Amino acid sequence: MSKNNIVTAASDVAANLVGAFPKSVKAAHEFENYNEYLNANRPSTKQLEDERTTPLNPAPLISVAMVCVGESDSKMDATLVSLLAQTYTNWELCIAFELSKTGLERFNSLEKIRIVLSDGTDKELIALAQEQLRGAYFLMLSPGDRLAPDAMYSVAQAMLANRQAEVFYMDEDSVTDEGERHSPIFKPDYGPDTMLSYNMTGKPLFVAKRVHEKVGGYIGTGKNDLWEYTIKCMRAAKGVVHIARVGLSTPEEGSNRNMNLHDMRKRLDTILSERKPVGNSFAGEIENTCRIRYPKKKQPSVGIVIPNVDDANLLARCIESIEQQSNSDCIRIFVADNGQEGETKQNYLRALKRNKVATLVEVEASSSMPRILNDCAKQAISDVLLFLNGSSEILSPGFPEQLTELVLRKDTGAVGGKILDAGGNILSVGTVIGLGGWAGSPYTGTPDDEEDWLKCTFTKVQRNVSAVSGAFMAIGGETFFNSGLFDETITGVGWDTELCIRLMRRGLYNCFTPYAVVRLNGTLPDYAKASAGNLTRCYDAYRQTLLAGDKYYNFNFDPASSVPMLAVNPYPPITLNQNYKG
């Protein structure tokens, strides 16, 4: 192992070169049953009429800003028609046109609309437009954008129900000139790591006036401008609310596609320099994404905890991969020893101890997995604890840095890496609570490829998750002990997810990173094989999330499928759980 304790500038440059040529994503994701979903979830005529005749009180004024330069009248009119069809009536609109624009007489009779005529850049025009607006919330649209008729009403309801929140966003899709809707983007709830990886919120974005003014208003109308503005708003807001339904159709294919990443990285670096820990942006693994790294002046101590594994050859392969893929001398390895292994295994363990490769921690043969891990962690007092399945092989060079730079941030709970099976298929890319009625990883058993944009947002970007697998989990030592360690009453499966839930309840963010990868020569715990008592404890721990749905997994996805599919009639995952009594 290297004796270099410093994350050098050279290592950051090397990391940037690795990510300098991000992979292309084959296509946007298309759901086969999207039209069926739209028909089933479209508001009825009665619902729309009820909203029109039942105004909300209070009804905050929503200000809409738009720049229209060189766009066709048909696009402008499509947006205007969608605004006039809103069941929520307390809104205003200011449109900035180029000075030479004619044919604006059709707007004269529309009291809610102001017109600005001027020459200048889009940044100057959007600034002129927002100067005319006096609302409590701001929304920017582009010509051709079409709001769902109940979009503003739904957002206003969310504003009244979440008085502390100051940013609201909805799902979106694309629309052809003929009105055919396609390429929906069903988004996760806000996560700070996800937001820095790509523009996860897109449009429509409703921002409270306080936050809008605090960040300096709209920066411009381009996609990079929207991403930068959104990040600043999210950081300044007291709360962010995601409304998991399609509220906007845009003529462009996705707000998070076709970005200028070179320009965006410059903007991200400026944003990241304003708050500790200071981070640096790099090109992400796939196009239109970034990776944020958090360099440290010195390497923290890392205690790698490996529970008992029957096969000495697998354990040897695991430890060799740690040595080969680490560039730090601050690592110590702790291996559980129950004293009842075969002669070959015991000889290998004694060799590890004799050669000071690993510290052996005596554990009782009857101990549960969380008990074994807790006993080892108590011996492995370190800045960072890494729990690692003994049947795994580390595939990522410099893997400690990929994990520790994320773990040691003050708001971080557990950090998990990507787990692949022996054939290179996905075993875990973060845990979704509710899959199959219990918990599991999206895309389990599928190739680790760039099949479509949706898949890549789960498997190829650094993002926030509800939980990570204990087979490859890093956590700050102080955080682990202050959180009460693993719950030893959860014996077979779910002890890792339960800890992550406790971390979230403390206000910490759990995170998945695709830049730390292991290959597992075995299997992960299976809920189908768990005891009734084990499942009862898991149900108690998961119940709240099972009722509401995992916030990082869109509620419109069918929890019965590990590959995201639309539920024509969305339902809470708890209904799939065998312990649920209705």
Output phi, psi for 255, to 5 deg.
-70, -20
pTM of the model: 0.94
Tens-digit pLDDT profile for residues 522-578: 999 999 999 999 999 999 999 999 999 999 999 999 999 999 999 999 999 999 999
Give CA–CA dist 339/367, Å, rounded: 12
DSSP class of residue 543?
H
Question: Is the separation of the CB atoms in 55 and 319 below 8 Å?
Answer: no
Percent of the chain with pLDDT over 90: 83
Mean confidence (pLDDT) of the chain? 92
Q: Mind listing the pLDDT tens digit for each residue in 481-530?
A: 999 999 999 989 999 999 999 999 999 999 999 999 999 999 999 999 99
CA distance 167 to 136: 12
At 5 the pLDDT is 34
Distances (CA, A) of 109 to 93, 116, 133, 146: 13, 16, 18, 21
- Measure the CA–CA gap between 387 and 289, rounded to whole angstroms: 29
Phi, psi of 485, rounded to the nearest 5 degrees: 60, -170
Residue 241 contacts residue 293 (beta carbons within 8 Å): no
Give CA separation, 576 vs 438, 552, 560, in Å. Answer: 8, 19, 7
If one counts every other C-beta atom within 10 angstroms of the C-beta of residue 343, the result is 8
Separation of alpha carbons 462 and 517, rounded Å: 13
The model's pLDDT over 188-246, given as tens digits with 9 standing for 90+, comes to 999 999 999 999 999 999 999 999 999 999 999 999 999 999 999 999 999 999 999 99
* pLDDT (0 to 100) of residue 27: 77
Among residues 434, 408, 171, the alpha carbon closest in space to that of 293 is found at 408
| Residues 125-165 pLDDT 10s | 999 999 999 999 999 999 999 999 999 999 999 999 999 99
The amino acid occupying position 266 is: K
- Is residue 479 helix, strand or coil? helix
Closest by CA to 543, choosing from 575, 569, 496, is: 575
Q: How far apart are CA 430 and CA 463, in angstroms?
A: 9
- Please say whether the beta carbons of 194 and 252 come within 8 A: no
- Tell me the Cα Rg of the chain: 26
| Three-state secondary structure call for residue 303 | strand
Considering only the C-alpha atoms of the chain, give the largest distance between any 2 of them, rounded to a whole number of Å.
Answer: 91
Whether a cis peptide bond, with omega within 30° of 0, leads into 300 is no
Q: Which residues pair with 432 in a beta bridge?
A: 440
pLDDT at 73: 87
Helix axes 343-354, 312-325, angle to 10 degrees: 30
